[in-house]
Amino acid sequence: MTSAALTIAGSDSGGGAGIQADLKTFQELGVFGTSALTAITAQNTLGVHAVQPVDARIVAAQIQAVLDDLPVKAIKTGMLFSAEIIQSVAHELRAYSAIPLVIDPVMIAKGGASLLQNEAVAALKDQLLPAATLITPNIPEAEVLTGQLIRSERDMVLAANTLLSMGCSAVLLKGGHREDVPYAEDLFLTANGEHFLMRSKRIETRHTHGTGCTFAAAITAELAKGHSLEKAVVTAKHFIQLAIENGIELGQGHGPTNHGAFRNSGYLKTQEVELIERR
Ligand SMILES: Nc1ncnc2c1ncn2[C@@H]1O[C@H](COP(=O)(O)OP(=O)(O)O)[C@@H](O)[C@H]1O
Ligand SMILES: Cc1ncc(COP(=O)(O)O)c(N)n1
């Protein structure tokens, strides 16, 4: 039977991030995509023009409708916008704690617009984070969640440990925002003490709109297919590396990545990703 995955996230009218990126990624990886929309953004590659949150009761109703009926094997959250929506999502997911949950703690769009209200950070930490199988912050998001500055690999390890202490089962701290190194290096750490780094060549490109969404969606799709968390994050790193490398020339700003690049490569791993077991 085909497995389904559920994304609980915002709509990006420009199609590069949010629900649109998630559904494209699920499809590319052979998983049936379902969705619960949390917010509508009027957005393109240049920025966010407007945000309209969805009523928290409608967010809850969408989650119920999907989970009542469809064979959802993994769930991902993206833009959640408000404390009210976070509460509602946490409440709905409580009965489904056996389904792996990937939390991408989306806060700010590449253009600088806020996708999470400041007062919602506490709700995210208290209500949702402890339920996560995996949390996938970028460096600025990890800094907000932990209150720690991250400027080096050592800082990444310290922050990832702080995130684990908040109750999630594993952390994938994405290093795309680090400017001190010529590579894009992500740190994976679990509550069981397993840890490794995934290092790839940093690509000079404008086409990074939706990288975080796409990466977390690829992990979710691989989990929905029954792969282990470790295997899922490694496959997803290959997926995102190829998607960035083959970015699409669309729009005048931060263009989208190419969700079809991994399929076009015959689902082959790229030489550009190196796994480093930490000492
Ligand atoms: N210029 C780049 N070249 C290669 N990989 C990148 C680049 N920018 C980001 N990545 C990778 O893309 C993924 C998303 O990372 P990041 O940009 O840190 O998150 P976000 O999109 O949430 O801000 C990570 O695996 C990161 O290492
Ligand atoms: C609806 C929505 N969700 C998430 C993002 C973050 O994506 P990015 O950080 O790549 O701009 C976004 N821009 N829009």
Write down the ipTM of this complex.
Answer: 0.97
Looking at residues 73-102, what average pLDDT do you find?
Answer: 98
Kindly list the catalytic residues.
174, 208, 210-213
In whole angstroms, how far apart are CA 242 and each of 92, 118, 167, 226? 35, 34, 32, 23
pLDDT range class, residue 271, cuts 50, 70, 90: confident
Q: What is the DSSP letter of 46?
A: S
Q: Give residue 268's pLDDT.
A: 85
Q: Using a 6 Å cutoff on CB, does residue 22 contact ligand 2?
A: no
**Domain 4-277 grouped into CATH 3.40.1190.20:** yes
Query: Cα(94) to centroid of ligand 2, in Å?
Result: 26
Q: Give residue 278's pLDDT.
A: 63
* Predicted confidence (pLDDT) at residue 279 exceeds the cutoff of 70: no
Query: Cα(186) to centroid of ligand 2, in Å?
Result: 19
Looking at ligand 2, which residue's alpha carbon is closest to its atom 6? 109
Residue 204, number of CB atoms within 10 A of its CB: 5
Select from 7, 23, 35, 106 the residue to mutate for testing ligand 2; criterion: most ligand atoms less than 8 Å from CB.
106
pLDDT range class, residue 171, cuts 50, 70, 90: very high
Looking at residues 250-258, what average pLDDT do you find?
Answer: 94
pLDDT over 90 for what percent of the chain?
91
Q: Give residue 180's pLDDT.
A: 82
* Owner of token pair 């704690």: 97
Q: Using a 6 Å cutoff on CB, does residue 184 contact ligand 1?
A: yes
pLDDT range class, residue 48, cuts 50, 70, 90: very high
Select from 20, 24, 43, 79 the residue to mutate for testing ligand 2; criterion: most ligand atoms less than 8 Å from CB.
79
Q: Domain spans of the chain?
A: 4-277
Beta-carbon contacts of residue 92 (< 8 Å; ≥ 6 apart): 60, 63, 64, 67
What pTM does this model have? 0.98
Q: Using a 6 Å cutoff on CB, does residue 202 contact ligand 1?
A: yes
Looking at residues 52-76, what average pLDDT do you find?
Answer: 98
Looking at residues 191-200, what average pLDDT do you find?
Answer: 95
Instruction: Ligand 2, residue 12: give the atom nearest the CA.
Output: 1
Instruction: Ligand 2, residue 104: give the atom nearest the CA.
Output: 4
* Token representation of residue 107: 């806060």
- Are the CB atoms for 93 and 131 separated by under 8 Å? yes
- Are the CB atoms for 148 and 158 separated by under 8 Å? yes
* Predicted confidence (pLDDT) at residue 1 exceeds the cutoff of 80: no
Looking at residues 143-149, what average pLDDT do you find?
Answer: 97
Mean pLDDT of all residues belonging to the chain: 95
